[in-house]
Amino acid sequence: MRRSLFAAIPFVLIACSGPAESQRAGGQAAGRPFTATPVADFDAPWAMTFLADGRMLVTEKDGRLLLVAADGKSRMTVAGTPAVDDAGQGGLMDVVLAPDFARSNRVYFSYSTGGPGGKGVVLARGRLAAIGTTARLDGVETLFTARPFVEGDGHYSGRIAFAPDGRHLFFTNGERQQFTPAQDPKATLGKVLRLTLDGKPAPGNPLAAKGFAPEVWSYGHRNLLGIAFDAQGNLWEQEMGPKGGDELNLILPGRNYGYPLVSDGDHYDGRPIPDHATRPDLERYKVNWTPVISPGGLMIYSGSLFPQWRGDAFIGGLSSKALVRVDLNGTNAAKGDQWDMGARIREVEQGPDGAIWVLEDGGRGSAGRLLKLTPTAAR
């Protein structure tokens, strides 16, 4: 990552308490080839991204955006974020630096809000500024709003990934627990979207000429909580299945990934869903989990601290309380490791030094800690 001009601006962070020690220490657990060091505590964190100097932006579900020191010992609240609807699965969601952040200081983020018809997910951006002990987002603007808004508080998705060329972004819209919008060509729900950096439909999207919403890149998705490009430019996405059938997908332009027509899981009320194998005309997952892992964030590792995992996918497991590794080999994938983390893992990211960082969810008994994973020293 190129060093930001913003990162060079000196300022003092406000001190805050660090994570509890002793009984809550991370450390090495049996069977894990890494040491997990607690760095900070948060209230229901959702996503994070790193600045070049090791500082972090962390979102919390209730709408707070935090700028956190590299060692986690101090933080400040970034002013200027819009009000969010944080009921259910809603809140302030993803946060990602713009491809030209070193020049523009732009930060892209997503959140849920209410409006005519119900609620939906929004893509927005602003310019990060910090002077002394204050930080804020200036010039916040809404770039894209999901269509349609519907009732309910689930399956917003809202993950963001920039294309390797830095000219387009991909944005996930969940089907909002409404099932059929995932196959509705006019809705953006249940879709992967390809947009310009200003949030407009990207020219050349593959389904616009077929009557789809012009932003749609792929469709037939459920709750898409991770999306990332690998070093070869392949786009990977993971999503929660219903009762069974979590998926890791290779996202190809114009393809239908089947939900709710097919799934290797069933509806929660017991109604069966035909398996993927019954519809070879629909795009099939690359990896599938039943029992589910409840996938959270997705990261493709490219660092040097864990050279044996370079190019592999890492997924946070919520109900599984796990960190999940998937072997990627070109356009193929296979299950790797699944490490018990003892808490719901909402987010996984790579730090500037190649360490792997995970955020605990903060809900359902999960503490909301930030953990830094480093290789276990040889004995």
Q: What is the pLDDT of residues 46-61, one digit of tens each?
A: 999 999 999 999 999 9
pLDDT for 364 beyond 90: no
For residue 3, the model assigns a pLDDT of 30
DSSP 290-312: SS---EEEEEE---SSSGGGTT-
What is the percentage of the chain residues whose pLDDT exceeds 70?
91
Distance of alpha carbon 294 from alpha carbon 249, whole angstroms: 15
Alpha-carbon Rg for the chain in angstroms: 20
* Residue pLDDT, tens place only, 146-180: 999 999 999 999 999 999 999 999 999 999 999 99
Give the pLDDT band of residue 133 (cuts 50, 70, 90).
Answer: confident
pLDDT for 8 beyond 70: no
Distance of alpha carbon 97 from alpha carbon 161, whole angstroms: 10
Distance of alpha carbon 276 from alpha carbon 263, whole angstroms: 6
For residue 26, the model assigns a pLDDT of 55
Catalytic residues: 155
* Residue pLDDT, tens place only, 332-346: 999 999 999 999 999
pLDDT for 24 beyond 50: no
Q: Is 62 left (phi over 0), alpha (psi -120 to 50) or beta?
A: alpha
pLDDT for 108 beyond 70: yes
Residue ranges and CATH numbers for the domains of the chain are 6-18+38-289 (2.120.10.30), 292-379 (2.40.10)
Please tell me whether the overall predicted TM-score, pTM, comes out greater than 0.85 for this model: yes
For residue 30, the model assigns a pLDDT of 62
For residue 31, the model assigns a pLDDT of 78
For residue 40, the model assigns a pLDDT of 96
Average pLDDT value for residue range 265-291? 97
pLDDT for 126 beyond 90: yes
Average pLDDT value for residue range 188-203? 98
